[in-house]
Chain A
Amino acid sequence: MTGAPTKDHYSLSIRILHWLTAVLVFAALVVGFALANVLADYAALLMLHKIIGALIFIMIIVRIVNRLRHDAPALPATVGRWERRAVVGSELLIYATLLAQPLVGWAMLAAAGVAVVIGPVRLPSIVPVDAGLYALLRNGHSVLAYTLVVLVAAHVSAVLLHTLTLRDGMLGRMAFRTRRHVVRHEQ
């Protein structure tokens, strides 16, 4: 890590979008899981879930474009070659899952012959009406939801381990307050 000095955090737009996504994804997951478990609030939660899902889909597209326009800050020296692969791989996997999940939700309703209604907007159908396809997509929506739970758990756990145990300032890359943190650079 010698050579040109690198920024120690992501650009402001990336950090804002990241934390907005975190809140939305957490809300979409909690509301989505609750949907399979409630009666009285089902209709209201379903509406909320669709709104959040649509927001996440738009957000992820904005984030991909934004991420390509900005460089990431260097990873701390504590992140070795193999861990770096895990970091990049899991980041790509999270992007892919977050992009796929709203589409699968939309497609599964289309397969059931139901339009996705979000306020005044009625989305067109994107797959043929087919109950077997619905079952496949509906189960896929659940599998992706649990996948996201695992990915988020791993993502947060890794950042906490790095930040608190290895004390390499990992969280600072995505944080808003610039901490007076001594980042241990390789000399």
Chain B
Amino acid sequence: MAVNRRGAVGVHLGVKERPRLIPSSWASASIDRRGVLLGVAAIGGFLAVDLGTVLYARGPIGSNGRLTPQAFIDAFRRVYGLHPGFRRNHAKGVAVAGYFDSNGNGVELSRAAVFRSGRTPLVGRFSLPGGNPTVSDSVSASRGLGLAFGYPGAEQWRTAMLNSPVFPDNSPQGFYDRLLASKPAADTGKPDPQAMSRFLAAHPETARAMATISRQPPTSGFGDSAYHGLNAFFFTSATGIYTPVRWSLAPMASTGAPAPPGHGPNLLFDNLIRDIRSGPLRWRLLVTVGEPQDDLRDATIAWPPERRVVDAGTVVIDSIDSERRGNARDINFDPMVLPDGIEPSEDPLLSARSAVYAASFRRRAGEMGSPPAVGVNEVAQ
């Protein structure tokens, strides 16, 4: 208690009081060994529980062997390398805008304002899957279309679609394992066929889905592709009735046309840019109504073709721009951003997509990236 005694002397001499490690005010308490031990034990116990809970919730304690958003970010980096500023998946893309002309047919199923007769502006982004922002286009590659109806309003509807009729995976673990199995080998530059066959043997649902996907050969480009929302959702009507649905976009341009001339790494995007310059591209927004026997939790299974389909209107894309600050580049096409009148199903992919997209968006939003590979103004008229 030398510090205290000195402090007391200091006060006596009128020297300005300064804070000490052990405050002199504590001298008024009778401190004994038991009290010190009790205090230290209680504080230690509290801090252990408190900080332990934080480390358990945030990781890494107890997170080993469990899939986390960070595990996906790491896996994309392992397979595709690090590309700051770009999406971790669907890194290569182009921003578009247009509108949705609703014919009012969707109102029967959903009270969402977007389905009332009338026009809702939208922004979107065409993309290629994978984390490489400079990957070369190929007609066989699958294609993505993200849309944000009514962006940036409070009643927005965001959706991230693919041109395949079903999704290859029905669980986050399946997606993760497939991603790693598709990693190109260092020597050949191609995925290890053994790793992929091992994966498919362990994931029969993916093998089935791949067969379904291969029965629908890809079209010549972005503009004549159909796009599918893949996961099931619920539409809720004005009277509160829940209807399980999946949605898709059916192209109004002719399909199966011979591939337009064009070569080079941006073949698909260059054609899309020319298409939109020459006139708006249109799709029918089709809402497929699920039946009780349809599995709402499994995006690998196509619903039977006899399911009722409601044509809700026309999606029109009439402008295109390179990805830049403030356009679709800066939108996270999180499938859980939904208006009143659309609700998520119990499909486990939905929550996982939302979590991983958020992790990707958080990282890339804070990074300075290189310019996008697709430059709209670089494409000749």
Q: A100 contacts the other chain (Cβ, under 8 Å)?
A: no
B47 an interface residue at 8 Å Cβ cutoff?
yes
Residues of A within 8 Å of B36, CB to CB, are 165
Tell me which residues across on chain A come within 8 A of B352, comparing CB atoms.
Answer: 39-40, 42
Binds B, one of A11-19, A60-68, A89-97, A111-119: A111-119
The residues of B that contact A186 with a CB separation of less than 8 Å are: 28
Q: How far is the CA of A156 from the CA of B47 in the complex (A)?
A: 9
Q: Smallest Cβ distance from B3 to chain A, in angstroms?
A: 13
Interface presence of A160 (CB below 8 A): yes
Query: Quick check: B29 and A167 within 8 Å, CB to CB?
Result: yes
Binary per-residue interface labels of chain B (285-328) against chain A in the complex, 1 for a CB within 8 Å, 0 otherwise? 00000000000000000000000000000000000000001100
Residues of the A chain whose Cβ atoms lie less than 8 Å from the Cβ of B67:
39
**Dominant secondary structure of chain B at its interface with chain A:** helix
1/0 contact trace for A32-49 toward B, CB 8 Å? 011111111111101000
Stretch from B52-60, B103-111, B127-135, B226-234 forming part of the interface with A: B52-60
Rounded to whole angstroms, the CA-CA distance of A19 and B28 in the bound complex is 29
CB distance from A43 to the nearest CB of B (A): 4
Q: B359 near A: Cβ within 8 Å?
A: yes
When the two chains form their complex, are residues B26 and A36 in contact, meaning their CB atoms are under 8 A apart? no
Task: Report how far A184 CA is from B29 CA in the complex, Å.
Answer: 7
A30 to B52 Cα, complex, angstroms = 11
Q: Is the CB–CB distance between B69 and A37 below 8 Å?
A: yes
CB of B117 closer than 8 Å to a CB of A: no
Inter-subunit contact A184/B28 (CB<8 Å):
yes
If the complex has contacts A80-B23, A164-B39, are A36 and B58 also in contact, measured as CB distance less than 8 A? Answer: yes
Measured between beta carbons, the chain A residues less than 8 angstroms from B359 are 36
A131 to B151, CA, bound (A): 14
Does A129 contact B23, Cβ atoms closer than 8 Å?
A: no
- What residues of B have a CB within 8 angstroms of the CB of A124 in the complex? 154
In the bound complex, what is the Cα–Cα distance between A36 and B358 (angstroms)?
9
Q: Is B17 an interface residue (CB 8 A)?
A: yes
Please state if A135 and B362 are interface contacts (CB–CB under 8 Å): yes
Q: Interface range on chain A: under 10, 10 to 19, 20 to 34, or 35 or more?
A: 35 or more
Within 8 A of B (CB), among A77-103: 77-83
Residues in A whose Cβ lies below 8 Å from that of B325: 131-132
Asked if B380 is an interface residue, CB under 8 A from chain A, the answer is no
Interface residue? A139 (CB, 8 A): yes
Say yes or no for A4: interface residue by CB 8 A criterion. no
A59 CB-CB contact with B under 8 Å: no
Contact with A along B320-338 (1 / 0, CB 8 A): 0000011001111010110
CA–CA, A72 and B67, complex, Å: 48
B74 part of interface (Cβ distance < 8 Å):
no
Once A37-B58, A39-B351, A129-B152 are accepted as A-B contacts, the answer to whether A149 and B39 lie under 8 Å apart by CB is no
Partner pick for A41 among B50, B156, B334, B351, CB 8 A cutoff = B351
Q: Which of A35, A79, A130, A166 is B31 in contact with, Cβ under 8 Å?
A: A166
Q: How many residues of B contact A (CB 8 A)?
A: 63
Contact A38 B366 (CB under 8 A): no
CB < 8 Å neighbour of B366 from A139, A152, A165:
A139
- Identify which of A39, A82, A153 gathers the most chain B CB atoms within 10 Å of its CB: A39
- Chain B residues near A42: list those with CB within 8 A: 351-352, 354-355, 358
A79, A82, A135, A157: the one within 8 Å of B365 (CB):
A135
On whether the beta carbons of B330 and A37 are closer than 8 Å, the reply is: no
Interface residues of A in 148-164 (CB under 8 A from B): 149, 152-153, 156-157, 160-161, 164
Contact of A78 among B29, B39, B57 (CB under 8 A): B29
Q: How far, in angstroms, from A134 to B46 measured CA to CA in the complex?
A: 34
Using known A-B contacts A30-B53, A164-B42, determine if residue A131 contacts B26 with beta carbons closer than 8 Å.
no
Residues of A within 8 A of B (CB): 29-31, 33-44, 46, 77-83, 112-115, 120, 122-125, 129-132, 134-136, 138-139, 149, 152-153, 156-157, 160-161, 164-168, 184, 186
26 A-B pairs in the complex with CB atoms less than 8 angstroms apart: A29-B54, A30-B54, A34-B58, A37-B69, A38-B355, A39-B69, A41-B351, A42-B354, A77-B25, A80-B26, A113-B152, A120-B340, A124-B154, A125-B152, A125-B154, A129-B330, A131-B365, A134-B361, A135-B362, A135-B366, A139-B366, A160-B42, A161-B39, A164-B38, A164-B39, A166-B39
Question: Which 4 residue pairs are nearest across A and B when measured between Cβ atoms?
Answer: A80-B25, A165-B39, A135-B366, A113-B152
Known: A39-B356, A113-B148, A132-B325. 5 other contacts (CB 8 A): A33-B54, A42-B354, A80-B26, A134-B365, A153-B51
